[in-house]
Amino acid sequence: MMTKTNRQHTLLARLLGDRSGNFGMMTAIILPVALATAGVALDLNKMVQIRAALQDSADAATLAAASALAADGITDEAAIELAKKFMAAQFSNINGESGSDIDGAEDDTVDKNAIGSVERNTTTASGKTFDVTLSGYYNMPTNGLTALLGWDKVKLSVTSTAQSTTESKNALSMYLVLDRSGSMAETTSTVNAATPTKTVSYDCSYYNNKGNWVKKTCTRQDTNYYTKIESLKLAVANLTTQLNTADPENKYVRTAAVSYEAKMYTPVSFDWGTAHTLTYVQKLIADGGTDSSAAMARAYSDIIKSSEVDAHKNKNGQKKPGKFIVFMTDGDNNYSSADTKTLATCNSAKAAGVEIFTVAFMAPSRGQELLSECATDTSHYYDASNAAELVAAFKEIGEKATQASTRLTN
């Protein structure tokens, strides 16, 4: 009996002391954990990238919806639906994903998952303000290694808020700096649609059969092309129409203008509305050389005066009106020193928060270069090669100056 018991103890001790299977056991335990850890590391990197794409999509969507509310006057419901669809489309473009969850169910896409809201505020000073908020999520499928831990997908959530206001449609001061040099009398390639032909007189004197000289004037019908100065007057009329549409009661828009050739002409000072400025432009006559430096300096000095801000504050309560200079030329300054002075003024104006739109109208390369450098950015520079393009440029400037401002608030 004692011998059997001792034998059992010996077998048990040998079994407990045998370590030949430990590696296999440890491998069986540790390997899945190691693989899962590697899978998590890969998915973490993917999560960062996809969440960034989702956030960018949400930001773009709220900005688009807020802008549409202010500019197009759509309903809150339409704005929210726009934001959802925009977010899904942007996410698909950026991330290359369809926006579906792991199962690909059509009722579980980014736009279906999103929740949006719109808050409207109205103040007497700045019109309407719109706050658009959008929250959404995307179910990111994990890789097979992470799935070992029981996670087949990860929910990535984002929220974005954007604000738009109609304030910038109203409160603005705009100064026109216009070239009236002799080259502005030249014709363009655009036919005057109102009077496409014109009667031209010419000398058709002749010798009669008796050898006598007969003085005679004849007429013919020629194509009637717009001159540059006529095109400018049409363009400014189009611009003022945009401003008048935004401010029909002349309570928020102030305009002024100055013209130049080799010298600066007496400007028309800032006043409410556009009638005085349009009248000034309609009287312009093309003549002389080209030097824009004094005219730009005058526009800059007038538009940054504190009295201009005070005028808005006292009239409409707005303390930060938009400030714009529209600078147009069809040629080169006669002296390079005028370019240097003009550009210095442009830089000072931009540093002071003035937006500068520039229009090169059938201008040579040096004139184009000056206006390109003077503009606030490339979207503020226009190169018009004919009358139609000049009118379109001034119209777009009016639209941009009066459009609603939109910004992210999160």
List pLDDT tens digits, range 350-384.
999 999 999 999 999 999 999 999 999 999 999 99
Cβ atoms 293, 345 nearer than 8 A = yes
Claim to verify: residue 102 and residue 51 sit in the same structural domain: yes
Looking at residue 106, what is its pLDDT?
41
Domain stops at, among 110, 134, 165: 165
Claim to verify: residue 158 and residue 200 sit in the same structural domain: no
Looking at residue 74, what is its pLDDT?
85
Edge-first strand order for the sheet with 153-165 is 115-123, 127-141, 153-165, 405-408
Between 198 and 241, name the one with better pLDDT. 241
Claim to verify: residue 52 and residue 68 sit in the same structural domain: yes
Q: Report d(CA 293, CA 144) in Å as an integer.
A: 69
Looking at residue 163, what is its pLDDT?
84
Phi, psi of 140 (to 5 degrees): -85, 120
Looking at residue 182, what is its pLDDT?
96
Tokens at residue 184, please? 């502005």
Claim to verify: residue 289 and residue 222 sit in the same structural domain: yes
Claim to verify: residue 161 and residue 287 sit in the same structural domain: no
Asked whether the predicted pLDDT for residue 35 surpasses 60, the reply is no
Looking at residue 170, what is its pLDDT?
61
Beta strands in 166-207 (DSSP E): 172-179, 187-191, 197-203, 206-207
Domain count, the chain: 2
Cβ atoms 102, 152 nearer than 8 A = yes
CA distances from 172 to 83, 218, 252, 349 (A): 29, 53, 6, 15
Report pTM. 0.60
Claim to verify: residue 132 and residue 176 sit in the same structural domain: no
Asked whether the predicted pLDDT for residue 95 surpasses 60, the reply is yes
Cβ atoms 151, 205 nearer than 8 A = no
State the CATH number of the domain containing residue 362: 3.40.50.410
Phi-psi region of 104 (alpha: psi -120 to 50; beta: other; left: phi over 0): left
How sure is the predictor about 176, in pLDDT bands with cuts at 50, 70 and 90?
Answer: very high
Most confident of 69-78, 105-114, 308-317: 308-317
Looking at residue 144, what is its pLDDT?
64
How sure is the predictor about 13, in pLDDT bands with cuts at 50, 70 and 90?
Answer: low
Most confident of 68-77, 125-134, 190-199, 314-323: 314-323
Phi, psi of 38 (to 5 degrees): -65, -40
Average pLDDT over residues 379-394: 94
Tokens at residue 191, please? 């036919």
Q: Does residue 5 form part of some domain?
A: no
Domain stops at, among 165, 192, 207: 165
Looking at residue 409, what is its pLDDT?
64
Most confident of 104-108, 147-151, 287-291, 320-324: 287-291
Query: Picking from 36-45, 177-186, 282-291, which range would have the lowest pLDDT averaged per residue?
Result: 36-45
Claim to verify: residue 181 and residue 79 sit in the same structural domain: no
Per-residue pLDDT tens over the stretch 111-168: 788 888 888 876 544 467 889 999 999 888 887 666 666 677 888 899 999 888 765 4
Asked whether the predicted pLDDT for residue 294 surpasses 60, the reply is yes
Which range marks the domain in which residue 130 is found?
22-165
Edge-first strand order for the sheet with 253-260 is 268-272, 253-260, 172-179, 322-329, 355-361, 381-384
Claim to verify: residue 181 and residue 317 sit in the same structural domain: yes
Domain stops at, among 124, 139, 165: 165
Asked whether the predicted pLDDT for residue 101 surpasses 50, the reply is no
Q: Does residue 6 form part of some domain?
A: no
Q: Does residue 15 form part of some domain?
A: no
Q: Report d(CA 118, CA 392) in Å as an integer.
A: 34
Claim to verify: residue 265 and residue 318 sit in the same structural domain: yes
- CA atoms in the 13 A half-sphere facing the CB of 331: 24
Asked whether the predicted pLDDT for residue 9 surpasses 60, the reply is no
Asked whether the predicted pLDDT for residue 301 surpasses 90, the reply is yes
Claim to verify: residue 338 and residue 196 sit in the same structural domain: yes
Q: What is the DSSP letter of 194?
A: S
Q: What is the DSSP letter of 142?
A: P
In this structure, the number of other CB atoms found within 10 A of the CB of residue 5 comes to 9
